[in-house]
Chains A and B, each alone.
With several copies, the nearest count.
Chain A
């Protein structure tokens, strides 16, 4: 394991300190792994989070027009309920709090326990569970799909809705609409190594890739041989549009998300073909995001997300935000 680290059990703490000291608009809630906006305003609060190792998610999306608080667990480990509760409690301004949860057993259980704690304290808490990963067929398992990079669209759009002063119920409805209209799928060229574990999350031969990965270094749904960037983009795009009812003329937002070690140039090359694919399908690409949004440490690979837009979603997608990790 070759990493820029100090004591491994200080990984998350030092990371959060280094992040906060670079972002004066963030504040760490004393004694917790929760980062919140330094200036909270009287509106519905938005909390998201999960394990660490997905940087810039989730703290990079804290800012006006996006999240109010981000909770970081240990690397790839859902945060504990008390941490999530601390975030809810801190951002609550009396207008209620929306939790944005990725659909993993651990995340869901910990966030829901925190929501129960908060409700017991009289805080109005709603939640949306993001399950955008089309790699797993919905029907086979009762657990539903995983939540992956599409979650960032929920942060952005629900965040803008909250910033606009909408009620918890309305913000929840809009967040829900995003989750219903976003689909993603990812692939890996290399594994990643959880610092506390020290071993690569899987082994791949020189020309093997994992298709349909989550965001925690897990193996994907299948192992295949590496195809060209075009063929890979086509495969993921095909899976996504098979699942998302789109008709010619529809407007979409695209996200090409690097898993951590993929050069930006390769993500641009992928998008070069995604642009062809969308135009073949006669989709109107309203916005394309390319970069690292929801990573898996130093994994190489990418995920593709497609969000079907309507006028309401477009308005909030385009609204300004000060969150450091949302691109201009």
Chain B
């Protein structure tokens, strides 16, 4: 599989659009165990990212990732701003000057991104943060090499998102709720699940649309 510059741009455009659609779902989850702004934050940030991508029209994926990273860092705020900003900065460093990236490079990018989340957020797997999804996604990709791995990725990611529901948060704002944080899916995990949903579709043009609003609420 190859992932080209245009696919990347489509990916961002669609992710921004899906975030807008799921804004109130993400806000609602964050309301239950946080402060109710995760949907607003993400939708705002990726709308700007998408606009800047159109405006600057970068000619390689690395630069495109950087444009997105800068837009997120400057427009998301909260915990998710630095974290998603870091994700795209790390992707930028791996995809530097590339017009298109292959499976291996993609995996490498995601691994770098995941490690970026850990460095910045100091969370561990199981802490009920977006890292839970990134850990699951990257380790699946790492250990499953084969034609269907991107479609199957979605099954795995979806499960990872839903698995955050019963966990007690150990990092982020939800952690202050203690045991009361159990019972609600982590909003950042949902936005990261959505990230992979849209990515898979951008990659092979077909991946399913997941009805997160019914799954996670």
A residues sitting closer than 8 Å to B (CB atoms) are 51, 73-82, 104-106, 109-110, 113, 133, 135-136, 140-143, 146, 194, 196-197, 199, 201-202, 214, 216-219, 221-222
Contacts and interface: CB of A to CB of B under 8 A. Distances in A.
Q: Is the interface of B mostly helix, strand, loop or mixed?
A: helix
Contacts of B37: 74-77, 194, 196-197
The 5 nearest A-B residue pairs measured at CB: A216-B35, A106-B79, A109-B82, A106-B78, A77-B77
Contacts of B173: 104-106, 214, 216, 218
A106 B82 contact: yes
Interface string B73-94: 1111111111100000000000
A105 B41 CA distance: 15
Contacts of B80: 106
Interface string B27-60: 1100111111101110010000000000000000
B176 interface: yes
Given A194-B36, A197-B36, A218-B35, A77 B78 contact: yes
Contacts of B36: 76, 194, 197, 199, 201, 217
Contacts of A217: 35-36
A195 to B, nearest CB: 9
Interface in B99-118: none
Nearest to A145: B176
Given A76-B36, A109-B120, A113-B82, A221 B176 contact: yes
Nearest to B180: A219
B79 A105 contact: yes
A77 B41 contact: yes
A219 B28 CA distance: 13
**Most chain-B Cβ atoms within 10 A of its Cβ — which of A74, A106, A136, A196?**
A106
Contacts of B4: none
Nearest to A135: B176
A105 B172 contact: yes
Contacts of B120: 109
A245 to B, nearest CB: 24
A81 B82 contact: yes
Nearest to B83: A109
26 contacts: A73-B78, A76-B35, A80-B74, A80-B75, A80-B76, A82-B73, A105-B172, A106-B81, A109-B79, A109-B82, A110-B81, A113-B82, A133-B176, A135-B176, A141-B176, A142-B171, A143-B171, A143-B175, A146-B176, A194-B40, A199-B27, A199-B28, A201-B31, A202-B32, A218-B35, A218-B173
B170 interface: yes
Contacts of A140: 178
B121 interface: yes
B208 interface: no
A76 B35 CA distance: 7
Contacts of A74: 37, 40-41, 44, 77
A27 to B, nearest CB: 22
A12 to B, nearest CB: 11
A218 B34 contact: yes
A217 B80 CA distance: 18
Contact of B27 (A110, A141, A197, A202): A197
B171 A105 contact: yes
A136 B77 contact: no
B210 interface: no
A288 B8 CA distance: 51
Nearest to A214: B176
Contact of B74 (A76, A82, A135): A82
Given A51-B77, A80-B77, 18 more contacts: A76-B35, A78-B79, A80-B81, A104-B173, A105-B172, A106-B79, A106-B82, A136-B176, A194-B27, A194-B35, A194-B36, A194-B40, A197-B27, A199-B28, A214-B176, A216-B173, A221-B177, A221-B180
B30 to A, nearest CB: 8
A287 to B, nearest CB: 29
Contacts of B83: 109
Contacts of B177: 218-219, 221
B73 A113 contact: yes
A143 B121 CA distance: 10
